[in-house]
Amino acid sequence: MGAAVFAGHIDLNGRQGVFSRLSTMRPGQEIDTVRPDGTPVRFVVTRVEQHPKNAFPTDAVYGPTDSPELRLITCGGSFDRGRGSYRDNIVVFARLA
- Give per-residue pLDDT as tens, 39-83: 999 999 999 999 999 999 999 999 999 999 999 999 999 999 999
Residue 1 has pLDDT above 90, yes or no: no
Count of the separate structural domains present in the chain: 1
Percent pLDDT > 70 in the chain is 100
Residue 13 has pLDDT above 90, yes or no: no
Task: Produce one character per residue of 66-75: b if its CB has 16 or more CB atoms within 10 Å, e if not.
Answer: eeebbbbbbb
pTM (2 d.p.)? 0.92
At 88, is the secondary structure helix, strand, or coil? strand
Comparing C-alpha atoms, which of 64, 51, 58 is closest to residue 23? Answer: 51
The enclosing domain of 65 has a CATH number of: 2.40.260.10
Q: Answer whether 71's CB lies under 8 Å from 4's CB.
A: yes
Domain boundaries, position 51: 2-96
Residues in the chain: 97
For the chain, the average pLDDT equals 95
